[in-house]
């Protein structure tokens, strides 16, 4: 096709300009979030209560999980596991995991842990770090938290500010929240709602108009903005749930509406007072006076178990498949993959699943989340005569409906027969 024929179509011209804009901004102005020493997220965007329901962990379980923000892994300590192996290529996420685990062990009491990990503007946290944590960190974790940022402050100053506002994706989320506020969104009204009906009314009247603003929609149709929020191209395709076609703008428009629908569910289907995910999205801090408002690993009723078993957290800086290749056959009772499969190609998934199948103990479970609505596994996993995995679609849907994070499109629990 010659250039004249291509540009004859206004739609093609618009798509071409949009593609150039995305590529230029992505390369020239937006740094990659995939650096292996950059903190990506300071909390896990997955509901630990749902994880525990799904996995039904027994005492002395051997667990492997993607590290992410570490909140979920620490919550699993309440089930008295034999070991929790947290695997990540990113040394920053492992340093975050370690300092959270060491805080549970070495800070004087529950109140000190809560102030260190959940409350913003606690200048005494600098003393807590120096007195109780620094000497107990590994060399790698200590190096990470001692390193100074561009302002000349050591990274551990994050604990005297607001830990939940730190991390690559959190910074992007703050930018979008600021933009929406400038466009008229009133997130500050949501915590004042007395019930779900009021939350829905506030969303419709005071938030949705900003989400439908042309400026905001324009940004949400840009690939580089979605990348900054943590969506890679595989996930964008899963969100669209449709094959790529020439009408790229239409696909992106549908995608922005889908994201708005999920945000609506996050902010309207669960009480704000009991949903720390919603609190983080709207810019609120944890409502520490309400225990049910806190992530599970920060709730007082599980603190004694977490303190007792936190030494059973084991960080590993590896690719997941490389770690599993080092494990003995039938040695793992639970695999928590989060949305890891969304980032892999079909061939990579097949190779990873071979190792999961080899390492899985009898009765093992695998927990998978996806931004799409389809199970991101090849059908051969279930179709061969040697297939040893099963899943319950109704149970998966029930768990997904209760997940307060609400940003994922699906959740799957696989059981080994």
Q: Write the pLDDT tens digit of every residue in 349-359.
A: 999 999 999 99
- Angle at which helices 91-106 and 110-117 cross, to 10°: 150
> Which residues are CB-contacts of 282 (< 8 A; sequence separation ≥ 6)?
177, 187, 188, 190, 191, 267, 272
Q: Which of 409, 27, 30, 414 is nearest to 255 (CA)?
A: 409
Q: State phi, psi for 120 to the nearest 5 degrees.
A: -80, 165
Burial class of 75 by CB neighbour count within 10 A (0 to 12, 13 to 18, 19+): buried
Give the chain's mean pLDDT.
86
Instruction: For residue range 141-198, list pLDDT tens digits in order.
Output: 999 999 998 889 999 999 999 898 888 888 888 888 999 999 999 999 999 999 999 9
Q: Which helix (H) or strand (E) holds 117?
A: helix 110-117
Least confident stretch, 51-55, 327-331, 387-391: 387-391
Average pLDDT over residues 260-265: 92
* pLDDT for residue 117: 96
CATH match for 48-118+121-161+295-416 among 3.40.50.150, 3.50.50.60, 3.40.1410.10, 3.40.50.10420 = 3.40.50.150
* pLDDT for residue 3: 41
Say if pTM beats, i.e. exceeds, 0.85.
Answer: yes
Q: How far apart are CA 234 and CA 180, in angstroms?
A: 27
List the beta bridge partners of residue 275.
Answer: none
* pLDDT for residue 193: 95
* pLDDT for residue 239: 66
Average pLDDT over residues 232-254: 55
pLDDT: is 222 or 315 the higher one? Answer: 315
Q: Which helix (H) or strand (E) holds 66?
A: strand 62-66
Residue 1: pLDDT above 60? no
Average pLDDT over residues 210-221: 88
pLDDT band at 15 (very low <50, low <70, confident <90, very high): very low
Residue 39: pLDDT above 60? yes
Average pLDDT over residues 243-270: 71
Least confident stretch, 11-25, 215-229, 297-311, 389-403: 11-25
Give the start-to-end residue ranges of the domains of the chain. 48-118+121-161+295-416, 168-290
Contact 274, 290 (CB under 8 A): yes
Q: CA 153, 159, 164, 170: dihedral to nearest 10 degrees? A: 10
Q: Which helix (H) or strand (E) holds 332?
A: strand 332-338
* pLDDT for residue 72: 97
* pLDDT for residue 37: 83
């Amino acid at each position: 096709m010659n250039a004249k024929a291509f540009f004859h179509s206004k739609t093609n011209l618009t798509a071409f300009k949009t593609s150039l804009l995305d590529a230029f901004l992505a390369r020239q102005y937006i740094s990659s979030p995939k650096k292996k020493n950059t903190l990506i997220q300071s909390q896990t965007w997955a509901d630990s209560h749902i994880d525990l329901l799904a996995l039904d962990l027994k005492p002395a379980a051997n667990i492997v999980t993607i590290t992410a923000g570490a909140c979920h892994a620490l919550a699993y300590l309440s089930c008295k596991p034999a070991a929790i192996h947290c695997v990540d290529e990113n040394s920053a996420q492992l340093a975050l995991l370690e300092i959270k685990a060491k805080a549970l062990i070495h800070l004087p009491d529950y109140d000190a842990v809560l102030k260190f990990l959940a409350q913003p503007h606690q200048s005494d946290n600098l003393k807590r770090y120096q007195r109780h944590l620094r000497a107990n960190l590994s060399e790698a974790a200590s190096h990470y938290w001692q390193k100074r940022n561009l302002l000349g402050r050591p990274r551990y100053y994050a604990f005297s500010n607001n830990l939940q506002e730190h991390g690559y994706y959190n910074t992007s989320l703050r930018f979008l929240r600021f933009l929406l506020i400038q466009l008229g969104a009133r997130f500050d009204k949501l915590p004042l709602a007395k019930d779900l009906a009021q939350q829905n009314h506030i969303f419709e009247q005071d938030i949705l108009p900003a989400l439908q603003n042309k400026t905001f929609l324009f940004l949400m149709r840009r690939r580089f903005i979605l990348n900054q929020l943590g969506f890679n191209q595989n996930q964008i395709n899963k969100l669209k749930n449709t094959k790529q076609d020439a009408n790229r703008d239409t696909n992106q428009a549908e995608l922005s509406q889908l994201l708005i629908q999920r945000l609506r569910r996050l902010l309207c289907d669960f009480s704000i007072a009991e949903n720390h995910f919603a609190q983080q999205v709207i810019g609120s801090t944890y409502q520490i006076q309400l225990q049910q408002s806190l992530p599970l690993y920060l709730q007082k009723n599980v603190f004694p178990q977490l303190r007792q078993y936190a030494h059973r957290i084991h960080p590993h800086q590896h690719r997941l498949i490389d770690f599993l290749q080092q494990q003995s056959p039938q040695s793992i009772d639970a695999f928590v993959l989060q949305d890891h499969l969304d980032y892999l190609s079909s061939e990579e998934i097949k190779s990873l699943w071979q190792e999961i199948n080899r390492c899985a103990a009898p009765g093992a479970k695998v927990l998978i989340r996806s931004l799409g609505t389809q199970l991101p596994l090849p059908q051969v996993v279930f179709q061969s005569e040697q297939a040893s995995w099963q899943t319950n679609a109704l149970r998966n849907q029930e768990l997904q409906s209760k997940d307060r994070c609400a940003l994922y499109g699906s959740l799957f629990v696989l059981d080994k027969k």
